[in-house]
């Protein structure tokens, strides 16, 4: 066996780890209720990439005494670019044929993906990675951008490492480990606990990036520096745990102990994926980040991943290496890159909105479709390109031909030109399309003129101008808004409706029925408490208060009870159940809402969730916001519930 083959022996178990990681991510993307921490599979990918790429560069350095930057980058390009281009071309063609309204918005995503800067594009643009109500067929490409930026920089680092000599490699490994730890500490110190809202309401949750304000959570989750911890830890493992040195080692290893350690690390990863929470979540206080994830959680995942990799690649490993190296996992692992690329657009073009959870039946069908596309790409695009088919074809094409061969070539050129018409048409459509607002955003914008901002004391006329319909001012006492004495003679609001974006979308039809609507996007139940206290303090509460909140955040019983304190003398308080099936908080909130009539005689509940389940045609494709035909039903049901049909 020559030195090259000894150094670069294929390790099937690593493909098995890849397979399990991509499955975790795909389950999370399908329905995050099934595996709340499935997104951690990407972090495992980072550790594997750091390990393998560093191993590859170390092997080349040991063999040749240096690292060829050109050859490394060429190999990476052949490995990564073909499948990416297939995804981008496929998404653009599909959109140009069937969903042309998204082309304008899609343009920036495509350019950012081609430049491998998608993560920074998202951070800079403020299009949060965590929003559920957006159609984003390329959002998953942020992780590929992180890896590609690593591939651009890392061979330069290893070129310097090669010049230090083998005797200093252990210290280099310590340096990589220290850098990974420094990244974890930086992430922990940079992260801020607490509610995440707009920059005006929560300025501490934003930070400056080249003079531009960006979301702190988005920067930490998507940024190349902050997500390099796993890559660096994998690189440190490659320095200390090179398979070719392990084979030569005479050190006796307890095989059973090694397998037990590996199994324990696998179980730890699985538990973290089941127990970790989604990166941001709606709580009673508002949207908050998952504190533990940013303050040591990622580092724990990296450490567990390192242990799994170390046991899987060790020659003494039996159970772990054989289990992870079984043919099914190896098959999937070798296609994991393409599977990751293709599954998300397939999911998104089917369900349209990122937060829509799939049913098991939908999941199976869409996964099979994604696997079929993955296999076609792997066989007929990725593998041929890696094997140099394009360069061989170009060499043949440049050779002169005559007679029948010339006719065959001409027919091939015509066929290629015809096939290129669709991609060219799609590309022209992409770069000439106007940016259009999606139907949900447009509906919300159209209804904003029919709302009243009670706390801000401004109402909007039909032409979008504001008037001061709520006379007087308010002050804050003991954390609550209380009216100044001179404002107590304000006009009573007979029917006041307090809601979030779901109610906002139906503000016009509610207003037509005599309801005063105070609704805003991303509102939590705490807003209802503030509004109720204020309206009580100015004696403006009338006969009915309608509350429809809980789409974005959970609510606890204490907050509901606090809301009812200022509303205890209102003849009727109508609570409306929420319908957001992709979130676990739906059932929690609805259970607490439906319990209210047993504690308060003036409370009634309208079960909108049941109506929405029975009539999905009332809803937009996000399965939460209400279409025009559903808005009329929504308003009519409210009027019937308060006795004013």
Average pLDDT value for residue range 156-171: 89
SS (H, E, C) 546-609: EEECCCCCCCCHHHHHHHHCCCCCCCEEEEECCCCCCCCHHHHHHHHHHCHHHCCCCEEEECHH
Distance CA(645)–CA(635), nearest Å, equals 10
- The encoded tokens of residue 28 equal 């999370």
Question: Is 334 a residue whose pLDDT tops 80?
Answer: yes
Give whole-number Cα distances, 278 to 45, 134, 412, 523, in Å.
18, 17, 51, 19
Indicate the residue among 431, 464, 490 that finishes a domain: 431
Question: Is 487 a residue whose pLDDT tops 70?
Answer: no
Query: Is the domain of 278 the same as that of 355?
Result: yes
Question: Is 18 a residue whose pLDDT tops 50?
Answer: yes
Query: Is the domain of 577 the same as that of 626?
Result: yes
**CATH at residue 479:** 3.40.50.1110
- The encoded tokens of residue 127 equal 């299009």
What are the pLDDT digits (tens) for 497-542? 999 999 999 999 999 999 999 999 888 898 999 999 999 999 999 9
Strand 280-283 vs strand 286-289: parallel, antiparallel, or unpaired? antiparallel
Average pLDDT value for residue range 635-643: 96
Question: Is 483 a residue whose pLDDT tops 70?
Answer: no
Phi-psi category of residue 526: left, alpha or beta, with phi > 0 → left and psi -120 to 50 → alpha? alpha
Average pLDDT value for residue range 316-339: 94
Question: Is 27 a residue whose pLDDT tops 90?
Answer: yes
288: β partners: 195, 281
Can you give the pLDDT at residue 136?
A: 86
Can you give the pLDDT at residue 147?
A: 95
Query: Is the domain of 292 the same as that of 416?
Result: yes
Can you give the pLDDT at residue 645?
A: 81
Average pLDDT value for residue range 404-408: 72
Distance CA(547)–CA(565), nearest Å, equals 14
Dihedral of alpha carbons 47, 50, 56, 58, sign: negative
Query: Is the domain of 397 the same as that of 455?
Result: no
Can you give the pLDDT at residue 6?
A: 55
Closest CA to 422 of 10, 161, 89: 89
Strand 541-548 vs strand 280-283: parallel, antiparallel, or unpaired? unpaired
Query: Is the domain of 345 the same as that of 400?
Result: yes
- The encoded tokens of residue 6 equal 């000894």
Quick check: helix, strand or coil at residue 624?
A: coil
Average pLDDT value for residue range 467-486: 38
- The encoded tokens of residue 331 equal 């098959």
What kind and span of H or E run contains 542? strand 541-548
- For the ranges 350-354, 376-380, 381-385, 509-513, the lowest mean pLDDT is seen at 350-354
Can you give the pLDDT at residue 8?
A: 62
Query: Is the domain of 467 the same as that of 421?
Result: no
The confidence band for 7, taking pLDDT boundaries of 50, 70 and 90, is low
Can you give the pLDDT at residue 461?
A: 43
Question: Is 332 a residue whose pLDDT tops 70?
Answer: yes
Can you give the pLDDT at residue 376?
A: 96
SS3 content of the chain, % helix, strand, coil (to 5): 65, 10, 30
- The encoded tokens of residue 180 equal 């990974």
Question: Mean pLDDT in the chain?
Answer: 88
Give whole-number Cα distances, 185 to 181, 188, 272, 289, 342, in Å.
6, 5, 20, 17, 34
Distance CA(609)–CA(593), nearest Å, equals 12
What proportion of the chain, given as a percentage, has pLDDT over 70? 91
Distance CA(327)–CA(126), nearest Å, equals 42
Distance CA(611)–CA(510), nearest Å, equals 18
Indicate the residue among 397, 431, 465 that finishes a domain: 431
Question: In angstroms, how far is the first alpha carbon of the chain from the final one?
Answer: 87
Average pLDDT value for residue range 460-488: 39
Query: Is the domain of 327 the same as that of 260?
Result: yes
Report angle CA 221, 338, 374 to the nearest 5 degrees.
140
Question: Which range, 61-65, 67-71, 395-399, 571-575, is most confident?
Answer: 571-575
Average pLDDT value for residue range 236-246: 91
Average pLDDT value for residue range 268-290: 90
Query: Is the domain of 26 the same as that of 52?
Result: yes
Burial 193-207 (b: 16+ CB within 10 A, else e): eebbeeeeebeebbb
Question: Is 545 a residue whose pLDDT tops 80?
Answer: yes
Can you give the pLDDT at residue 283?
A: 80
Report the length, in residues, of the chain: 645
> What ranges make up the beta strands (E) of 96-255?
206-209, 212-215
Average pLDDT value for residue range 358-362: 94
Strand 206-209 vs strand 572-576: parallel, antiparallel, or unpaired? unpaired
- For the ranges 457-461, 476-480, 588-592, 613-617, the lowest mean pLDDT is seen at 476-480
Question: Is 227 a residue whose pLDDT tops 50?
Answer: yes
- The encoded tokens of residue 248 equal 């030569």
Distance CA(31)–CA(216), nearest Å, equals 26
- The encoded tokens of residue 169 equal 């490699």
What are the pLDDT digits (tens) for 616-634? 999 998 889 999 999 999 9
Can you give the pLDDT at residue 455?
A: 84
Query: Is the domain of 262 the same as that of 393?
Result: yes
Quote the DSSP letter at residue 475: E
Query: Is the domain of 623 the same as that of 525?
Result: yes
- The encoded tokens of residue 432 equal 């000439």
Quote the DSSP letter at residue 468: -
The 10 Å Cβ neighbour count of residue 381 is 16
Indicate the residue among 380, 413, 431 that finishes a domain: 431
Which residue range(s) make up the domain with 78?
Answer: 3-431
Can you give the pLDDT at residue 389?
A: 78
Q: Which residue has the higher pLDDT, 278 or 130?
A: 278
SS (H, E, C) 2-49: CHHHHHCCCCHHHHHHHHHHHHHHHHHHHCCCCCCCHHHHHHHHHHHH
Closest CA to 500 of 346, 210, 286, 343: 286
Query: Across the chain, which distance is largest between two alpha carbons, in Å?
Result: 100
Distance CA(181)–CA(232), nearest Å, equals 9
> How many structural domains are present in the chain?
2
Query: Is the domain of 18 the same as that of 164?
Result: yes
The 10 Å Cβ neighbour count of residue 34 is 14
Q: Which residue has the higher pLDDT, 25 or 483?
A: 25
Query: Is the domain of 402 the same as that of 524?
Result: no
At 631, give phi and psi (nearest 5°). Answer: -60, -40
- For the ranges 47-51, 435-439, 485-489, the lowest mean pLDDT is seen at 485-489
Question: Is 140 a residue whose pLDDT tops 80?
Answer: yes
Global pTM reads: 0.87
């Amino acid at each position: 066996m020559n030195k090259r083959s000894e150094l670069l022996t294929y390790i099937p178990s690593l493909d098995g780890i890849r397979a399990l990681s991509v499955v975790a991510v795909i389950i999370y993307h399908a329905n995050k209720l099934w595996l709340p921490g499935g997104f951690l599979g990407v972090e495992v990918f980072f550790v594997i990439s750091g390990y393998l790429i560093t191993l590859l560069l170390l092997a080349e350095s040991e063999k040749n005494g240096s690292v060829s930057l050109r050859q490394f980058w060429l190999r990476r390009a052949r490995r990564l670019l073909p499948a990416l281009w297939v995804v981008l071309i496929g998404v653009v063609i599909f959109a140009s044929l069937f969903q042309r309204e998204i082309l304008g918005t899609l343009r920036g995503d495509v350019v950012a993906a081609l430049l491998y800067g998608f993560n920074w594009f998202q951070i800079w643009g403020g299009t949060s990675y965590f929003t559920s109500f957006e159609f984003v067929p390329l959002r998953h490409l942020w992780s590929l951008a992180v890896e590609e930026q690593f591939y651009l920089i890392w061979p330069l680092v290893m070129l310097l490492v090669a010049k230090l000599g083998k005797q200093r490699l252990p210290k280099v490994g310590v340096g990589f480990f220290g850098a990974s730890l420094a990244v974890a500490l930086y992430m922990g110190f940079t992260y801020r606990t607490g509610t995440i809202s707009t920059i005006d309401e929560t300025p501490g949750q934003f930070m400056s990036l080249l003079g531009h304000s960006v979301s702190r959570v988005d920067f930490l989750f998507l940024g190349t520096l902050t997500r390099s911890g796993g890559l660096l830890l994998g690189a440190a493992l490659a320095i200390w745990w090179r398979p070719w040195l392990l084979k030569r080692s005479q050190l006796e290893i307890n095989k059973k102990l090694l397998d037990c350690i590996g199994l324990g690390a696998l179980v730890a990863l699985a538990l973290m994926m089941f127990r970790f929470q989604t990166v941001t979540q709606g709580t009673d206080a508002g949207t908050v980040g998952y504190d533990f994830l940013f303050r040591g959680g990622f580092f724990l995942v990296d450490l567990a991943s390192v242990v799994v990799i170390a046991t899987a690649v060790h020659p003494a490993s039996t159970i772990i290496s054989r289990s992870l190296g079984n043919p099914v996992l190896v098959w999937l692992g070798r296609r994991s890159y393409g599977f990751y690329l293709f599954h998300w657009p397939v999911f998104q073009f089917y369900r349209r909105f990122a937060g829509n959870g799939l049913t098991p039946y939908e999941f199976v069908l869409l996964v099979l479709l994604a696997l079929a596309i993955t296999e076609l790409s792997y066989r007929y695009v990725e593998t041929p390109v890696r094997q140099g088919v394009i360069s061989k074809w170009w060499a043949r094409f440049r050779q002169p031909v005559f007679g029948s061969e010339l006719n065959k070539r001409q027919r091939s050129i015509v066929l290629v030109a015809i096939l290129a018409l669709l991609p060219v048409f799609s590309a022209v459509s992409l770069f000439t399309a106007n940016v259009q607002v999606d139907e949900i955003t447009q509906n919300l914008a159209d209804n904003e003129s029919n709302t009243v901002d009670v706390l801000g004391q401004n109402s909007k006329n039909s032409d979008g101008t504001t008037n001061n319909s709520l006379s007087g001012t308010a002050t804050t006492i003991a954390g609550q808004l209380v009216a100044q004495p001179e404002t107590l003679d304000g006009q009573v609001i007979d029917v006041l409706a307090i809601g979030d974006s779901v109610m906002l979308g139906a503000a016009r039809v509610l207003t037509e029925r005599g309801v005063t609507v105070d609704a805003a996007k991303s509102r939590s139940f705490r807003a209802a408490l503030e509004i109720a206290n204020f309206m009580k303090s100015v004696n403006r509460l009338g006969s009915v208060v309608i509350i429809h909140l809980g789409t974005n955040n959970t609510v606890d019983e204490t907050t509901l009870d606090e809301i009812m304190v200022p509303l205890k003398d209102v003849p009727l308080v109508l609570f409306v159940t929420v319908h957001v099936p992709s979130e676990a908080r739906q059932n929690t909130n609805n259970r607490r809402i439906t319990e209210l009539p047993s504690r308060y005689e003036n409370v009634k509940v309208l079960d909108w969730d049941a109506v929405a389940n029975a009539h999905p045609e009332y809803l937009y494709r996000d399965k939460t916001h209400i279409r025009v035909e559903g808005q009329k039903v929504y308003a009519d049901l409210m009027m019937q519930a308060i006795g004013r049909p």
